[in-house]
Amino acid sequence: MSQSKPEERLALELSCAICLQLFRDPVALPCGHNYCLGCIQNAASAEDPKSLRRCPECREEYGSPEALPKNFKLSSIVDGFLVFKSIANVQKYHFSNSCQRNVTITYVKSNRSTPVLTTYSYVVVKHINAVYIWQANLCDLEGCLHQLQEAQKCTGEVLSQSSEFLFIQNYLNVEARIRQAANVTIPALPSQESSNAKQLRSILRTDTFRAEMSLLLEYLHGMMNPLDLTFNAATAHPSLLLSSDLKTVKQCAGFKSSAAGDQSERFSTATQVMCTQGFSTGVHMWAVEVGPGCMWSVGLCYKSIPRKGDHSRLGHNTSSWRLQWKSKKLAACYDLANVAVGEGLVMPPKKVEVTLDYEGGTFGFHSSGQGGRRQHLHTFSAVFKDTVYPAFGIHSTSEESWITLLSGA
C-alpha cells in the first residue's frame, strides 16, 4: 500500500521491521539496522543457541542482544513523533463541536528537546486532561437529558389513555424505564470552561500552531533522511583531491590540481570546497565523517564568499559560518568572532551532523557517537538573506586528513 501522507511515510520509517510497530527501546546492530530490544531478543531466542546471532535483514553476524547499544537518537525521534501525533489527535478529536467518546490520549515524556515542542507540548500535556473531563461530563449530561426526555414522553402517553385497561397495560410496560430515569445521577459540570482550556483552544486554532507542527514533521523527516550532497569540484582549492563520486575530499602534500578553464569559483588561498547543492528555504540535515588525524572546518556560506585572501576563510567574513577542529580545540566562528565550544570534549568528533532551519534562522552542529548518541556542539542564529551552501575546509596534510559526505540512503 502506498503511503500518501508524510505522517504515514515517517511512521513507516520509524517502525521496527520485526513487529512493524513504532520502535520501543531501539538498539543498533553493527550492520546499521535497528530493532526494538524486545523484538531482537525474541528473534535471538527463537534461533539455535549454538548458532551465531545474525541480523534478521542482512544476516550479518552480531554478539549478544543484551550487549547491543541503545540508539538514543532514534528513540528521541520516535518520542518527538509521538508528541506530534498526540497533539494532532487532540486537535482533531477533542476540540470538534461534537462530543467524542472512548478516545485515548497518549502522554509522552520526550527525552529530546526541540524548539518546536517547547511551547505547545507543555501546554497540551498540562491542561488536556481537565478539558477532556469537562467534555466527557458534558456528553454524560446530554445522555441523562435524553433519558429524562424519553421518560417524560412515555409518562405523557400513559396519562393520556382514557381506557383504564390500556392505562394499566402501558404503565406496566414503561414503569421500569420511568423509575430508572427518576433515579439517574446527574454528573457535575463546571459553570464555565476553565481559562486553561480556553487558552489551549485558542493556541490550537492559530496558524502559528499549525505552522509549528508542520515544521516539526519536516524536522523529524529531515533527521531520518540526511541529504545526499556532493562537492562542487569547480570551487575546490588546487591542493584538495576529490574522489570520483565527489563524496570525499582530501588534502595531500605536494598535490596540485591541473584543472583548466574558468577558475573564478575556486578558492585560491584557503584549502576549502563548497557543495553543489544550496538551500533557500526549509529544514535540512546532512552529516560528514572526518579522518581521525584531520584538522577541519565544517560550515555554511553564501555563493558571494570571497575566493582569495585571508578574509576568504570560513568564518572570517559576514558571508560564512564555521565550526573548526584545530590544534586540539573546537571553536565556532562568524565574522572573525571565535567562540570556544565543546567543553569537556577530549577526542575530536568522528562524525558531525549539521541541521539548517532556513526560516527559523538556525544552523546547528551535533557530534554523533556509538549507538546514535548525540552531543550538541554549537548553534548559530542568523537571518539568512540568500541561498546558502555547505562548505568545508581541511587544515592538515596527513594521510588521515579527509572529509566524507555521508549518504542519506
When pLDDT is averaged across residues 290-312 and rounded to a whole number, the result is 95
Question: Which domain-ending residue is among 160, 191, 213?
Answer: 213
Question: Which domain-ending residue is among 182, 213, 244?
Answer: 213
Instruction: Say what the pTM is.
Output: 0.54
Of 296, 289, 286, 295, nearest to 389 by C-alpha is: 286
Q: Which own/partner contact pairs does 178-187 have at CB distance under 8 Å and 24+ positions apart?
A: 178/151, 178/154, 180/147, 180/151, 181/147, 181/148, 181/150, 181/151, 182/151, 184/144, 184/147, 184/148, 185/144, 186/141, 186/144, 187/137, 187/140, 187/141, 187/144
Of 85, 77, 122, 76, nearest to 105 by C-alpha is: 85
Rounded to a whole number, what is the largest CA-CA distance in the chain? 118
Q: 340 and 230, same structural domain?
A: yes
Q: 145 and 251, same structural domain?
A: no
Regarding predicted confidence, which is higher, 402 or 212? 402
Does residue 204 lie within any of the structural domains?
yes
Does residue 75 lie within any of the structural domains?
no
300 Cβ neighbours under 8 A, 6+ residues apart: 320, 321, 322, 354, 356, 363, 388, 389, 390, 391
Distance (Å, whole) CA 288 – CA 368: 10
pLDDT score for 72: 82
Does residue 157 lie within any of the structural domains?
yes
Of 314, 320, 325, 327, nearest to 290 by C-alpha is: 325
46 Cβ neighbours under 8 A, 6+ residues apart: none
pLDDT score for 77: 84
314 lies in which domain range? 226-405
Does residue 20 lie within any of the structural domains?
yes
Strand partners, 27: 35, 70
Regarding predicted confidence, which is higher, 99 or 256? 256
Q: Specify the CATH number for the domain of residue 355.
A: 2.60.120.920
Instruction: Read off the amino acid at residue 129.
Output: N
Q: 397 and 369, same structural domain?
A: yes
Ramachandran angles phi, psi of 42, nearest 5°: -65, -40
Q: 384 and 269, same structural domain?
A: yes
Tell me which of 16-20, 134-138, 246-250, 283-287 is least confident. 134-138
Q: How many CB atoms lie within 10 A of CB 60?
A: 13
Q: 246 and 204, same structural domain?
A: no
Q: 231 and 207, same structural domain?
A: no
Q: 288 and 173, same structural domain?
A: no
* Cell numbers for 203: 493556541
Which letter, b or e, does each residue of 82-121 get, where b requires 16 or more Cβ atoms within 10 Å of its Cβ?
bbbbbbeebbeebbeeebeeeeeeeebebebebebbeebb
Question: Sheet harboring 374-381: ordered strands across?
Answer: 240-242, 248-251, 402-405, 283-290, 351-357, 362-368, 374-381
Does residue 89 lie within any of the structural domains?
no
Q: 343 and 231, same structural domain?
A: yes
Q: 62 and 116, same structural domain?
A: no
Of the pLDDT bands very low, low, confident and very high (cuts 50, 70, 90), residue 335 is: very high
Q: Which residue is it, cell 389513555?
A: 161
Q: 157 and 36, same structural domain?
A: no
Contact 112, 84 (CB under 8 A): no
Distance (Å, whole) CA 270 – CA 311: 9
Read off the pLDDT of residues 309-318 as tens digits, 9 standing for 90 and up. Answer: 999 999 999 9
When pLDDT is averaged across residues 213-223 and rounded to a whole number, the result is 61
Arithmetic mean of pLDDT over the chain: 77
Does residue 86 lie within any of the structural domains?
no
Ramachandran angles phi, psi of 248, nearest 5°: -125, 140
Q: Specify the CATH number for the domain of residue 50.
A: 3.30.40.10
Q: How many domains does the chain have?
A: 3
* Cell numbers for 109: 515524556
Read off the pLDDT of residues 65-122 as tens digits, 9 standing for 90 and up. Answer: 888 988 888 887 887 777 777 665 554 544 444 443 333 333 333 333 343 444 444 4
Contact 392, 271 (CB under 8 A): no
Which letter, b or e, does each residue of 373-384 get, where b requires 16 or more Cβ atoms within 10 Å of its Cβ?
ebeebbebeeeb
Of 267, 252, 226, nearest to 399 by C-alpha is: 252
**Whether pLDDT at 334 is above 70:** yes
Distance (Å, whole) CA 333 – CA 409: 31
Question: Which domain-ending residue is among 159, 187, 213?
Answer: 213
Does residue 97 lie within any of the structural domains?
no
Q: 289 and 374, same structural domain?
A: yes
Ramachandran angles phi, psi of 86, nearest 5°: -60, -45
Q: How many CB atoms lie within 10 A of CB 266?
A: 21
* Cell numbers for 148: 429524562
Read off the pLDDT of residues 120-149 as tens digits, 9 standing for 90 and up. Answer: 444 444 455 555 566 666 677 777 777 777
State the pairing for strand pair 351-357/337-340: unpaired
pLDDT score for 343: 75
Start-to-end CA distance of the chain, whole Å, equals 21
E runs forming strands in 327-361: 329-334, 337-340, 351-357
Read off the pLDDT of residues 22-71 as tens digits, 9 standing for 90 and up. Answer: 999 999 898 888 999 999 998 888 888 888 888 988 888 888 888 898 88
Contact 365, 377 (CB under 8 A): yes
Q: 151 and 287, same structural domain?
A: no
Of 126, 104, 116, nearest to 79 by C-alpha is: 116
When pLDDT is averaged across residues 286-310 and rounded to a whole number, the result is 95
Does residue 80 lie within any of the structural domains?
no
Of the pLDDT bands very low, low, confident and very high (cuts 50, 70, 90), residue 261 is: low
How far does CA 202 lie from the centroid of its chain? 25
